[in-house]
Amino acid sequence: LKDQFDNLDKHTQWGIDFLEKYAKFVKERIEIEQNYAKQLRNLVKKYCPKRSPKDEEPRFTSCIAFFNILNELNDYAGQREVVAEEMGHRVYGELMRYSHDLKTERKMHLQEGRKAQQYLDMCWKQMDNSKKKFERECREAEKAQQSYERLDNDTNATKADVEKAKQQLNLRTHMADENKNEYAAQLQNFNGEQHKHYYIVIPQIYKQLQEMDERRTIKLSECYKGFADSERKVIPIISKCLEGMILAAKSVDEHRDSQLVIDCFKSGFEPPGDFPFEDYSQNIYRTISDGTISTPKQEGMRIDTKTTVGKSKGKLWLFGKKPKPQSPPLTPTSLYTSSTPNGSQYPIFSIEPVHYCMSDIKTGKPRIPSFRSLKRGYFYLQGPALEDFSHLPPEQRRKKLQQRIDELNRELQKETDQKDALIKMKDVYEKNPQMGDPSSLQPKLTETMSNMDRLRMEIHKNEAWLSEVEGKVAARSDRRHSSDINHLVTQGRESPEGSYTDDANQEVRGPPQQHVQPSEFDDEFEDDDPLPAIGHCKAIYPFDGHNEGTLAMKEGEILYIIEEDKGDGWTRARRHNGEEGYVPTSYIDVTLEKNSKGA
């Protein structure tokens, strides 16, 4: 390699080019990893749920598993970014820095080699010049010797010419000897420099180039290893991400999802009851029966079954949606006569079938407190949701109210903790005035107390609604249970006139039942009419009623009581115009009736 300087120059340049080519490859790989991670993150962001914290959409296990998979995929994208960052820092950046240093080192070594070669060339030129000069002087000396010998042998030549030729010969000989010595010195110097050049300088330069090229090769090997290590370092985390996806897939529970669907759409309504039997033959039996039925004296005491059935039919048509399966057929209403002690007769109606029909009608449809409530529900089907969630089915309404009560209780607890902290801070300020002014905490303490009162009022109001919903659900269950029992009871002995009873002695009933029965008949539809008044009250103090669900009143105003205080300090009242709401129990003088239903 002593005379292959140009080849080594080309080889080292190829090595640097190859290094930069690999660096370019790593850069493109980094861009691929970055784009891949970016696309994965965009994909995750596209399919991630955009829900507010208060959104109560049912969380099915399949949805939760998919969201977990998206989270794991997002972590996987993060690991791809880690790979790109590691490659950029450990491989690409290192390669670019080393390539710059390698170019600088190669340039320095090549310059040293070129300087050594130039110095050797200069020595060679000096030696060559002295050689040519010595050669020229030698030829001139030979010519002078030939001229001297010719004149010395020529008999015609004068002695002066011979002496002159001899002096010229001596001069040329002396100059030839000097050039010979100079040539010998230059030759010896050139030989020494040449030996030094090929055995010391150039080998050292080549050795440095060799070491440089070997370091380049080692650096490439390290970069290859670092390239693979960047990927291998994230494999455990990527494996965890994949394991998380597998666990998310295994967490899918079809039974739980089904239960969530049931809980989400559970309305709380009872299934429709049997369709009642409508007896159109009552007029026939009434014509055949005793004519005293239509006497004016008994008209206020008897029950107009046709009117009653018509009323039930009208209400059934109003609230019903679909025809319902018919219940077992009922026989016409029986008419009995009984004698008084003075011998007069009066008609007695057996209303068991009517009572049974009304019970079926009542239990066969959702409970709607009043026609006003029906209109209110229809309005909120078209508009925003009510504050008391009355637009929802009972079961969903109960859940919503319970959730709101829990939230209000948490807020109340926060306000209570804040009040306790303020009181403690106020005590500290009072004991150590230098720490602060106690009066500066009074506005915040007043605001906290006001918030606590407001939250308590909201909690009482929502608890009242919740109690109302739970009471209605329980009453509906009881009515359905009693309806089933009545249905079984009516399967007993049938009288010849068509009334149902288990005891023949009970087929004819006395007049007192005529006074009790209308209230029982009215109870069958108490849910369809406004709640009955159980007393009245007089306002002792005025109440503004700014909050939702409260009723404003003036001092001395008379209101109907429709629901007693349940221990929360509020009583439900109604004005004469039908407006209802809650009023503070301590603001009114309550008078309850002995017979709540009759009131």
pLDDT at 479: 54
pLDDT at 390: 76
- How would you class 118 by CB atoms within 10 Å of its CB: exposed for 0-12, middle for 13-18, buried for 19 or more? exposed
Token pair recorded at residue 15: 């090595």
Token pair recorded at residue 266: 């559970």
Contact 550, 535 (CB under 8 A): no
Residue 27: is its pLDDT beyond 90? yes
Q: Read off the pLDDT band of 313 (50, 70, 90).
A: very low
Task: Give the chain's radius of gyration (CA, Å).
Answer: 58
Which stretch of 15-29, 47-61, 162-176, 318-332 has the lowest confidence by average pLDDT?
A: 318-332
Quote the CA–CA distance of 217 and 10 in Å, as a whole number.
16
Residue 344: is its pLDDT beyond 80? no
- Per cent of the chain over pLDDT 70 is 70
Token pair recorded at residue 559: 């209101």
Nearest to 101 by CA among 198, 197, 20, 173: 20
Name which residue leads in pLDDT, 152 or 2. 152
pLDDT at 312: 38
Quote the CA–CA distance of 582 and 587 in Å, as a whole number.
11
The identity of residue 127, as a single letter, is M
Contact 1, 113 (CB under 8 A): no
Token pair recorded at residue 441: 């905490």
pLDDT at 370: 39
What is the number of alpha carbons within 13 Å of residue 113 lying toward its C-beta? 24
Residue 215: is its pLDDT beyond 90? yes
Q: Read off the pLDDT band of 385 (50, 70, 90).
A: low
Name which residue leads in pLDDT, 53 or 498. 53
Q: Read off the pLDDT band of 445 (50, 70, 90).
A: confident
CA dist list (Å): 443 to 271, 438, 439:
56, 10, 8
Residue 560: is its pLDDT beyond 50? yes
CA 76 to chain CA centroid, nearest Å: 18
pLDDT at 163: 87
pLDDT at 18: 95
pLDDT at 52: 56
The identity of residue 39, as a single letter, is Q
Q: CB neighbours (10 Å) of residue 243?
A: 11
Quote the CA–CA distance of 453 and 450 in Å, as a whole number.
5
Question: What is the pLDDT averaged over residues 183-188?
Answer: 91
535-592 belongs to which homologous superfamily?
A: SH3 Domains (2.30.30.40)
Q: Read off the pLDDT band of 315 (50, 70, 90).
A: very low
Quote the CA–CA distance of 413 and 420 in Å, as a whole number.
10
Residue 588: is its pLDDT beyond 70? yes
At 588 the three-state DSSP class reads strand
Name which residue leads in pLDDT, 538 or 263. 538
4-260 belongs to which homologous superfamily?
A: Arfaptin homology (AH) domain/BAR domain (1.20.1270.60)
Residue 371: is its pLDDT beyond 50? no
- Range 286-290, long-range pairs (CB < 8 A, 24+ positions): 286/335, 289/335, 289/337, 289/347, 290/335, 290/337, 290/345, 290/347
Task: Identify which of 382-391, 438-447, 467-476 has the greatest average pLDDT.
Answer: 438-447
Quote the CA–CA distance of 80 and 34 in Å, as a whole number.
7
Residue 81: is its pLDDT beyond 90? yes
Token pair recorded at residue 95: 């390669």
Rounded to 5°, the CA angle 529-535-539 comes to 115
pLDDT at 266: 77
pLDDT at 294: 42
The average confidence (pLDDT) of the chain is 75
Token pair recorded at residue 516: 């009790």
Task: Identify which of 273-277, 361-365, 372-376 has the greatest average pLDDT.
Answer: 273-277
